[in-house]
Amino acid sequence: MPRPTTLGIALLSLTLPLAALAEPKPATSTTAAANAAVLEQLDFSDKQSFEDAQRGFVAALPNAHVLDESGQRAWSAQPYAFLEDEKAPDTVNPSLWRQARLNSIHGLFEVTEGIYQIRGMDLSNMTIVEGDSGLIVIDPLLTPATARAGLELYRAHRPDKPVVAVIYTHSHADHFAGVKGVVDQQDVDQGRVRIYAPEGFLEHAVSENVIAGNAMTRRASYMYGTALPISPQGHVDTGLGKGLSRGPLTLIPPTDSIERNGVQVIDGVEIDFHLAPGSEAPAEMMMYFPAQRVFNTAEVTSQQLHNIYTLRGAEVRDASLWSRYIDEVLEAYGPRTDVLIAQHHWPVWGTDSAQHFLAVQRDLYKYIHDQSVRLMNHGYRPGEIAEAIQLPDSLASEWAARDYYGTLRHNSRAIYQKYLGWYDANPANLNPPVPVEAARKTIEYMGGVEQVVARAQEDFAQGDYRWVASVMSQAVFAEPDNQAARELGADAMEQLGYQAESGPWRDVYLSAAQDLRSGGETSDGSRGASSDLLQALETGMVFDLLGVRLNGPKAEGKHIVLNWHFTDTQEKIRTNLQNATLTWLPDRQAESADATLTLTRATLNDILLRETTFPEAVKAGGIQVQGNPQKLFELLGLLDEFTTDFPLVEPRRS
């Protein structure tokens, strides 16, 4: 059983399956035909993206392999060697295959004089800007090992200068968590390195995936295919990049917050910052380098359709606002941009091409927003909108508007969710039966599982995989141990994965097929909690997390009041358990508290990281208790533990 993650932060790594896996099956003739048709729908003779992705190449990493400090593989391009073939196999959508091949082009690249990028060595890019006395590193990747390897690759071909500044473009972990691979905390503490980030970065960096982090981690293991084999019948690409590196996640809090648009000079380099909060991330910023006429869009643009809603689960993003930021950039910087770069994928070269690209990305998000809302106002429901909406040919023919990461279908549903929520206004869906009972009754009405499987086999033979996957899901929820239903459901999911243009769609379908065939979960994909992120959490948020873990029914009728005094941070907090609810207030101490606990925040971090426990800390003197210590232990006994191995494609067993 995987170790529970106390905080449940949704952070992933590449993992190997924990159990023997069933062999995948080949593409059916229906899938092969569907994928072959893609070759006729898109202009695969257009090689401009390959030229752009290879332009400025300096060097690749020797052996295309990165080891961490313990000698374990952190990242490797070697398993993706099958992508050297230009022709896609029948088991991969040719459009996704093209994107996967582009994302495999890795190494050090010169963008222009004084600006370099490390690309294809993690999920994101690391940009290196040469200053007067040292280096400015933009987005130091996901883990220290890949960030360190990228910097070493740069230094092998450029003058060996110290890093004097780090810029985090936004609050997603693949853009900051490798920071300790390029600088030390001591460098920052002693003023040798400045860390720049957009306003609100720290709050969002540590909070976005925390409260619902356990569920998000499990869902993300499907989205990124972390338990899938890397092969033409398994994981081939995320669309956004090859995959996730392995290793610890680190964080050094920013020393400087960018709170408004405008020019700042960092180590002699003029950088014109342009904030974009509430777009692709809650805290995000882009930047223009006037001396080189280079604009960096961070992750506000990418060589694909991005997620308005991400399959791992997160708040729906504002597509209309997102589009407006791109329009601002196009208007203000487009005419004076020679190269457009981002923190994923490859650059766009030339002023005209950059402006065209920005216009496509601007209109892509606004079109999805406006047309989804239009159909919504005609009374269309989420599934109907997803089925009806289509991009105009002018956008659909653009490689940078394809469904490699986000998709038109699930993004349009997100627009509905943003404005109207989950309820589609059909009262039959207001309080439906629970899934297991609904499935059992539905299958019973359909004549029982055996008859349903037999009929679904006929539909599978006709290539109706969406329907077969749907009805077999019902059959598995009705009879989770029915092997025929599981196998047929897996077969249908597998073919849907083979046909998917989206990397995440492919991975979720193939992960589901793998779990159905294996009869259990193959990997939870979690890293566990990061000490750096824990230390950056506000103390109050820790008590919010304890509140989420409180088992309400078990806490019924209990009333526990505790005072908490953190001597190193000088924080005083009062927690109150009442009405099966845990609440807290800062700067408060209750006179009638059951107990007062005196400790350090460092001790609390050790407990959260499972390096010790509350009882052990009390016994060792790390926590002094004035009052009744049993009240603390009583509260702790009411908290649930979370694990990231709960089922996604079958009912819970308990």
Domains of the chain (ranges, CATH numbers):
29-408 (3.60.15.30), 432-517 (1.25.40.880), 531-636 (3.30.1050.10)
Q: Is the pLDDT of residue 185 over 70?
A: yes
At residue 522 the predicted structure's pLDDT band, cuts being 50, 70 and 90, is low
Output the CA angle 335-340-346, nearest 5 degrees.
155
Find the range with the poorest average confidence among 6-20, 140-154, 572-586.
6-20
Round the CA-based radius of gyration of the chain to a whole number and report it: 26
Is residue 140 within 8 A of residue 178, CB to CB? The reply is yes
Question: Range with the lowest mean pLDDT among 60-69, 439-448, 480-489, 502-511?
Answer: 60-69
User: Residue 137: how many CA atoms within 13 Å on its side-chain side?
Assistant: 30
The mean pLDDT of 320-339, rounded to a whole number, is 98
- What pLDDT is recorded for position 213? 82
Residues 199, 494: contact at Cβ < 8 Å?
Answer: no
HSE-CB of 552 using CA atoms within 13 angstroms: 4
10 Å Cβ neighbour count for 197? 26
Task: Between 16 and 206, name the one with better pLDDT.
Answer: 206
Q: Give the DSSP H or E segment for 16.
A: none
pLDDT at 255 over 70: yes
Three-state DSSP class for residue 66: strand
Q: Report, as an integer, the average pLDDT of 88-115.
A: 98
Q: Sheet holding 269-275: strands in order across?
A: 262-266, 269-275, 285-289, 294-296, 339-341, 348-349
- The candidate with the shortest Cα–Cα distance to 112, out of 344, 326, 299, 340, is 340
Nearest Cα to 408, choosing from 386, 375, 381, 376? 386
pLDDT for res 521: 55
User: Does residue 126 carry a pLDDT above 90?
Assistant: yes
Average pLDDT in the chain:
93
In this structure, which amino acid lies at residue 422? Answer: W
Q: Where are the alpha helices (DSSP H) in 121-200?
A: 144-155, 185-189
Tell me, what DSSP letter sits at residue 63?
G
Tell me how far apart the alpha carbons of residues 58 and 542 are, in angstroms, rounded to a whole number: 46
**Cα–Cα dist 106/83, whole Å:** 13
Residue 135's pLDDT band (boundaries 50, 70, 90)?
Answer: very high
Can you tell me the distance from the alpha carbon of 451 to that of 271, in angstroms, rounded to the nearest whole number? 66
The pLDDT score that the predictor gives to residue 63 is 86
Q: Does the structure show a pLDDT above 90 at 503?
A: yes
pLDDT at 283 over 50: yes
User: Are 564 and 590 contacting, i.e. CB atoms less than 8 angstroms apart?
Assistant: no
pLDDT value of position 21: 73
pLDDT for res 519? 82
Query: How is 289-323 classified by DSSP, letter by letter?
Result: ETTTTEEE-TTSS-SS---SS-TT--PPP-HHHHH
**pLDDT value, residue 7:** 34
In terms of phi and psi (left: phi > 0; alpha: psi -120 to 50; beta: otherwise), the region of 441 is alpha
Q: What per-residue confidence (pLDDT) applies to 19?
A: 46
Q: Compute the average pLDDT of residues 640-652.
A: 91
Percent of the chain with pLDDT over 90: 88
- Position 520 scores a pLDDT of 65
Report the alpha-carbon distance of residue 107 to residue 91 in Å, rounded: 28
The position carrying tokens 């313990």 is: 70
Output the pLDDT for position 531.
78
CB 329 within 8 A of CB 296: no
Quick one: pLDDT band at residue 529, thresholds 50, 70, 90? low
Could you read off the pLDDT of 537-563 as tens digits, one per residue? 889 989 998 999 999 999 999 999 999
How many of the other CB atoms lie within 10 Å of CB of 553? 7
Q: Inform me whether the pLDDT recorded for 33 exceeds 90.
A: yes
Q: What is the mean pLDDT of residues 73-81?
A: 95
The Cα–Cα gap between 500 and 493 comes to 10
Dig out the tokens for 330 from the structure.
């196009």
Residue pLDDT, tens place only, 462-491: 999 999 999 999 999 999 999 999 999 999
Q: What is the pTM of this model?
A: 0.94
Write out the H or E segment, with its range, that includes residue 194: strand 194-198
**Spatial CB neighbours of 148, under 8 Å, sequence gap ≥ 6:** 178, 181, 182
Say whether pLDDT at 608 is over 90.
no
**What are the angstrom distances between the C-alpha of 18 and each of 2, 389, 635?**
10, 40, 35
Q: According to the model, what pLDDT value does residue 527 have? A: 52
Cβ partners under 8 Å of residue 138, min gap 6: 126, 127, 128, 129, 166, 167, 169, 287, 296, 343
Residue 519's CB is within 10 A of a number of other CB atoms, namely 13
Q: How many CB atoms lie within 10 A of CB 216?
A: 24
